[in-house]
C-alpha cells in the first residue's frame, strides 16, 4: 500500500494535517495508538476539561450567582455522575465528528503503534500483535506530548493524579493539593474548588502562570485567593507519603530552607508536559532530537529527507491551535504551496473564571527586548455590559510600539476573555495599530468595548474612565 503522506499521531496537529493534505489531493494515512482520533486534546485534554469547567461554573453560578439577579433557587445539588456523563458525551461527539471527517476526506485511519522503519516506511503494530508495513512519499511526526513526572512520585491516577485522573475523580476531594500553578493546575483546581474541594497550590516559582503577563498573573492570584485557593509559591515538593489514609506531602522552599508537611486527599501533579517519541524508532533513522523535542527547520523538516514534525513534539507553545496551524502549513508545503505559521500571533487562553487570554508580547518580554511601548488599560468595572452581568472582575491591557503605535500584545482578564482576544489577534495579523482598534466602531453595550477603550487608552484618550 503506498501513500503520498503518512501522519503519525491523530491529535489536533496530525488530524488537521491529514485533512488538509487530503483536500489538496494527497492519498493520506493517519496512524494512532488510540482507536479514537483527536489525541490528547479531544480525549484527555482541551475538550473534557472544558466540559467540566463549564459544568462546574454553572454549578457555582447556581449556588452564588443567581440570588443577586433576583432569581431565588434552592441550593444546587451535585450529581457528579451526570456531570461526568456530560464530559464523556462531549468527547464522544467530537470523536464521532472526526471519524466522519476522516471518511469524508478518504483518509485511511490505522489503529496501532507506529515505528519509522526507514524514510518512506512505517511499521504499524496493531492490537492483534500483527505488524504491517505501509509505504509513503512523506512522513509527518505528530506524536504530541505526555505528562512530566515529578521524580520520586508515582502517579497512580487515583490519589496521586495527572490531569487524566483529575478529569475522572469519583468524588470531589475534601482537600486537593495541586503541584504546579500553570494552566492545568489552575483550570482543574478551579473545577474541583467549585465542586467543594479546598485547593492548595504548591508552585516552584514565586509567581503563578509563568509566561503570562506579570500584572495579570498577580491580580488573578488575588481573585483565586478570594475563590478559596491557597498558594505556597517559591516551594517544591520533596516527597509524597501515601501510606496513611491521607496523603502527606513534604514541601520545601525552592531556594532551600525549612520543610513543612501538607495533608490532602488527592494530589494533582501538573508541572508541565514533555514531547513524546517513545517507540517511534527515531534513533533507527537518525532523526535529531534535543531535550526530547524533534528538531525541525522553519519548513517543519527534520534532518532526514521526507520526514517532518509538528505539534507538541516540536518547539513552541504546547497548544492545540498552534499544532493545527502547523498541520495546515506542512500539508500546504508538501503540496508545493507556501504554508506558514506566524508564531508572533498565537493566542492563549486559561479557561478559569474569570478567563485569561493573551496574544503577542507581555510587558516583561518587551522590557527584556528593549522595545519602547505605550500601555492602554481599561477595567471591566467601568464597562456597562459587565456591570449588567455582574462580571466586573478584570481588565484589558493593550501594548503598542511607542514609535509606530503597532499593537505588540493584548492581555485580557475577564468574563469572555477567550472570545474577545481574537479581535486583537486579527488586528495584529494585519499589523494594525492601537489607533486602528480604537477607531473601529464597537457595538454598545458589549464587553468588547473594554478592548476599544484600552486601545484608546494607549493614546490616553479613553472616554469612560
- Residues near ligand NAI (CB under 6 A): 150, 179-185, 187, 202-205, 210, 236-237, 270-273, 317-319, 348-351
Least CB distance to ligand NAI at residue 365 (A): 17
Q: How far apart are CA 34 and CA 111, in angstroms?
A: 6
Q: Would you call 406 exposed, middle or buried from its count of C-beta atoms within 10 A (0-12, 13-18, 19+)? A: middle
Task: Give the CA angle between residues 418, 421, 423 to the nearest 5°.
Answer: 135
CA distances from 194 to 59, 63, 89, 177, 188 (A): 7, 10, 21, 15, 10
CB of 45 to ligand NAI, least distance (A): 7
Distances in Å between the Cα of 79 and the Cα atoms of 63, 76, 158 are 14, 9, 20
Options 82-90, 317-325, 382-390, 404-412: segment touching ligand FAD (CB under 6 A): 317-325
Locate 462 and state its grid cell: 479613553
With 0-12 / 13-18 / 19 or more C-beta atoms within 10 angstroms meaning exposed / middle / buried, residue 392 is middle
Q: Dump strand ranges (E) for 82-127.
A: 108-111, 113-118, 121-125
Q: Which of 5, 6, 7, 9 binds ligand FAD (CB under 6 A)?
A: 9
Q: Which residue is nearest to ligand NAI (CB)?
A: 182
Please say which residue, 247 or 271, places its beta carbon nearer to ligand NAI. 271
Binding partner at 204 among ligand NAI, ligand FAD, none, C-beta below 5 to 8 Å by kind: ligand NAI
Q: Which residue has the cell 524508532?
A: 281
CB contact set of 347 (below 8 Å; sequence gap of 6+): 321, 357, 358, 359, 421, 422, 425
Q: Which helix (H) or strand (E) holds 365?
A: helix 363-369
State which residue, 163 or 190, has the beta carbon closest to ligand FAD.
Answer: 163
Binding-site member from 203, 213, 312, 453 for ligand FAD (CB under 6 A): 312
Which residue in the set 323, 339, 347, 409 belongs to the binding site for ligand FAD (CB under 6 A)?
323
Which of 139, 195, 237, 319 contacts ligand FAD by CB under 6 A?
A: 319
- The 10-49 site mask, x for binding ligand FAD (CB under 6 A), equals xxxxx----------------xxxx----xxx---xx--x
Contact of residue 454 among ligand FAD, ligand NAI, none (CB under 5-8 Å per partner type): none
Residue 380: CB atoms within 10 A of its CB come to 24
- Taking residues 178 to 217 in sequence order and writing x for each that binds ligand FAD by CB under 6 A, - otherwise, the string is ------x---------------------------------
Which positions from 137 through 166 interact with ligand FAD, judged by CB under 6 A?
A: 142-145, 163
453: contact with ligand FAD by CB under 6 A: no
Please count the other Cβ atoms lying within 10 Å of the Cβ belonging to residue 157. Answer: 12
Minimum distance between the CB of residue 192 and ligand NAI, rounded to whole angstroms?
Answer: 15
CB 267 within 8 A of CB 240: yes
- Annotated catalytic residue 411: no
Select the binding partner of residue 47 from ligand NAI, ligand FAD, none (C-beta < 5 to 8 A, by kind).
none
Smallest separation, CB 209 to ligand NAI (Å): 7
Give the active site residue among 64, 299, 444, 464.
444
Comparing CA positions, the residue from 330, 335, 351 lying closest to residue 417 is 351
- Would you call 354 exposed, middle or buried from its count of C-beta atoms within 10 A (0-12, 13-18, 19+)? buried
Which residues are identified as catalytic? 444
Q: Which residues bind ligand FAD (CB under 6 A)?
A: 8-14, 31-34, 39-41, 45-46, 49, 113-114, 142-145, 163, 184, 276, 279-280, 311-312, 318-321, 323
Amino acid at each position: 500500500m503506498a501513500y503520498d503522506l503518512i501522519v503519525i499521531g491523530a491529535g489536533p496537529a496530525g488530524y488537521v494535517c491529514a485533512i488538509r493534505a487530503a483536500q489538496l489531493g494527497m492519498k493520506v494515512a493517519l496512524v494512532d495508538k488510540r482507536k479514537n482520533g483527536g489525541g490528547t486534546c479531544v480525549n484527555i485534554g482541551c475538550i473534557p476539561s472544558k466540559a467540566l469547567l463549564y459544568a462546574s461554573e454553572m454549578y457555582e453560578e447556581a449556588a452564588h450567582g443567581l440570588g443577586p439577579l433576583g432569581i431565588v433557587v434552592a441550593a444546587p445539588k451535585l450529581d457528579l455522575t451526570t456531570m461526568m456523563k456530560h464530559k464523556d458525551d462531549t468527547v464522544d461527539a467530537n470523536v464521532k465528528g472526526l471519524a466522519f471527517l476522516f471518511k469524508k476526506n478518504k483518509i485511511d485511519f490505522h489503529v496501532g503503534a507506529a515505528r519509522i522503519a526507514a524514510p518512506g516506511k512505517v511499521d504499524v503494530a496493531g492490537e492483534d500483535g500483527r505488524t504491517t508495513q505501509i509505504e509513503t512519499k512523506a512522513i509527518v511526526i505528530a506524536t504530541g506530548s505526555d505528562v512530566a513526572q515529578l521524580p520520586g512520585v508515582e502517579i497512580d491516577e487515583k490519589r496521586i493524579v495527572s490531569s487524566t485522573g483529575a478529569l475522572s475523580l469519583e468524588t470531589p476531594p475534601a482537600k486537593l493539593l495541586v503541584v504546579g500553578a500553570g494552566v492545568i493546575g489552575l483550570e482543574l483546581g478551579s473545577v474541583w474548588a467549585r465542586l467543594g474541594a479546598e485547593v492548595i497550590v504548591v508552585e516552584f516559582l514565586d509567581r503563578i502562570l509563568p509566561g503570562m503577563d506579570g500584572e495579570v498573573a498577580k491580580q488573578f492570584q488575588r481573585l483565586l485567593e478570594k475563590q478559596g485557593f491557597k498558594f505556597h509559591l517559591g516551594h517544591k515538593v520533596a516527597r509524597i507519603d501515601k501510606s496513611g489514609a491521607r496523603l502527606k506531602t513534604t514541601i520545601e522552599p525552592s531556594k532551600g530552607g525549612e520543610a513543612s508537611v501538607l495533608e490532602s486527599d488527592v494530589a494533582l501533579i501538573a508541572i508541565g508536559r514533555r514531547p513524546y517519541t517513545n517507540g517511534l524508532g527515531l534513533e533507527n533513522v537518525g532523526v535529531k532530537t534535543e531535550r526530547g523535542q524533534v528538531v525541525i527547520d522553519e519548513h517543519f523538516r527534520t534532518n532526514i529527507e521526507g520526514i517532518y514534525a509538528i505539534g507538541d513534539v516540536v518547539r513552541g507553545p504546547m497548544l492545540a491551535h498552534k499544532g493545527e496551524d502547523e498541520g495546515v502549513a506542512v500539508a500546504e508545503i508538501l503540496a508545493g504551496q507556501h504554508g506558514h505559521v506566524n508564531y508572533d500571533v498565537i493566542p492563549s487562553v486559561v479557561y478559569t473564571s474569570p478567563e485569561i487570554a493573551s496574544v503577542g508580547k507581555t510587558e516583561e518580554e518587551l522590557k527584556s527586548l528593549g522595545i519602547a511601548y505605550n500601555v492602554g488599560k481599561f477595567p471591566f468595572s467601568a464597562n456597562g455590559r459587565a456591570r449588567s452581568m455582574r462580571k466586573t472582575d478584570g481588565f484589558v491591557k493593550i501594548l503598542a510600539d511607542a514609535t509606530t503605535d503597532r499593537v505588540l500584545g493584548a492581555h485580557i482578564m475577564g468574563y469572555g476573555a477567550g472570545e474577545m482576544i481574537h479581535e486583537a489577534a486579527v488586528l495584529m495579523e494585519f499589523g494594525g495599530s492601537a489607533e486602528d482598534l480604537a477607531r473601529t466602531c464597537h457595538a454598545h453595550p458589549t464587553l468588547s468595548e473594554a478592548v476599544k477603550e484600552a486601545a484608546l487608552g494607549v493614546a490616553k484618550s479613553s472616554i469612560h474612565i
